[in-house]
Structure 1
Amino acid sequence: MNELPPSVTLEELSEENLRPLLDAAVADADPFEVIAAVDGPPGWTPQRRHAFVEFHRGRALHPTRPSERTFVVTVDGEAIGAARLEPRGNDLEAGIWIGRSHRGRGIGSIVTAQLRRLAAETVACRITATTTPGNIAARRLIDTGLRARVHVDGDAVTGISDLT
């Protein structure tokens, strides 16, 4: 029996859905997959939880100068990850993380298509994304989901896709 595709939505990040996003990260992602390095023992320490919240409050939720649009990725109404579009000159840089238990189900492809559609509604000329050579799933999303030209430079794989 074929499983129906999940109902995947992108909800603009807000103070109301920031806590469910943190809960999803703590339950289903390594801190180093979703935030910059914070010293301390492994796992989601109180300092890393605080850093996660403050990171988003300082970027997408900044009251006067948000530096990016961040979206909570939901499946059937449950927060399972995040996606972002960050202006970089005339381009938008895309980023996605999906909780481990939700990977491999096609959610990343759906989110990538939604990000590309949102980016096309802006004045940006291109959408870009960067990953590491070993992240095969992200490379596939960059190649097929963003329909990007891929460039490998040392430890960085960058995809660039025209929006016009």
Structure 2
Amino acid sequence: MAGAVRLEPVDERNLEPLLSVAVAEAEPDDVMPPVEAPAGWSLARREAFRDYYRSGFAGFDGPTRTRMYAILVGGEVLGMIRMTRCPEPGTVETGIWLGRSARGQGIGGAALRELLNLAAAAGMRTVVASTTRDNAGAVSALRRCGAKLREDGDAVFAEICLDAIPPAL
């Protein structure tokens, strides 16, 4: 990994760089909820991306109850990680995406560790996540951050107790 991973709240300042990474290095369904729009990165999907990320600007107190963070290395936006309040008190669910060129370099794991620190600072006790068995990078990052993993078919569910986060390797 070249440089330290830094998380920065998604806002108007980094929204367009985040969209640029998504368009160049990700599929729409990997970075936002599905929308009715022409396939690929059509103008309608780009606007839906902006709307989706703007919906998180209000953080935990907003309608989506979500805090989104741009993932930066060396000042360059490489992806996004988020945490969304769950109905269970003290619990948030996380999700992450990285542009293809940033994958496999430990950036996702470092971003997850930073998010765990932010979650703990926000008073959370548990972080949960879900992925698929074939997403080896995500499963590995979750495991390195101390997640208890449970498989159900191709789905992998993770739970991280913030009182028991292992030290960084």
Q: Same fold (TM over 0.5)?
A: yes
The Cα of 1:151 is off from its aligned counterpart by 0.9
> What are structure 1's unaligned runs of at least 5 residues?
none
Matched, 1:61 2:33: no
Give the structure 1 partner of residue 14 of structure 2: 17
Amino acid at match of 1:118: L
The CA distance in 1 between the partners of 2:43 and 2:57, in whole Å, is 21
Look up the match of 1:72.
Answer: 70
- Partner residue in 1 for 2:95: 95
* d(CA) in 1 for partners of 2:82, 2:153: 24
Shift of residue 65, structure 1, vs aligned partner: 1.8
Report the TM-score, using the length of structure 1 for normalisation: 0.89
Structure 2 match to 1:83:
81
What are the Cα deviations for residues 87-108 of structure 1, in whole angstroms up to 9, with x where unaligned? 1122111111110011111111
Q: 2:167 matched to which residue of 1?
A: none
In structure 1, C-alpha distance between the alignment counterparts of 2:95 and 2:122, rounded to whole Å: 17
Query: For residues 163 and 99 of structure 1, do their structure 2 counterparts lie closer, same or farther at Cα, with a shift above 3 Å needed?
Result: same
TM-score between both structures, scaled by the size of structure 2: 0.86
Q: Which residue of 1 aligns with 2:106?
A: 106
Aligned residue in 1 for 2:45? 48
| Local SS of the residue matching 1:37 | coil
Q: Does the CA contact (< 8 Å) of 2:22 and 2:28 recur in 1?
A: yes
Return the offset for 1:116. 1.1
The SS at the match of 2:41 is coil
Mapped to 1, the partners of 2:125 and 2:114 lie a distance apart of 17
1:141: Cα distance to partner? 1.2
Q: CA deviation at 1:72?
A: 0.5
How many aligned positions are there?
159
Q: Secondary structure at the match of 1:42?
A: coil
Distance 2:93 2:34 in 1: 21
Extract unaligned runs of 5+ from structure 2: 164-169
| Mean Cα deviation higher: 152-161 or 13-22 | 152-161
Q: Deviation of residue 133 (structure 1)?
A: 1.7
| Residues 122/40 of structure 1: CA separation in 2 closer, same or farther (3 Å cut) | closer
Letter in 2 for 1:80: L
Q: CA RMSD in A?
A: 1.8
Separation of aligned partners in 2, 1:13 and 1:40: 24
Matching residue of 2:153: 154
Identity %: 37
2:166 is matched with which residue? none
Moved over 4 A (4+): none
Cα gap change, 1:65/1:40 in structure 2, threshold over 3 Å: closer, same or farther?
closer
- Structure-2 separation of matches of 1:52 and 1:9: 22
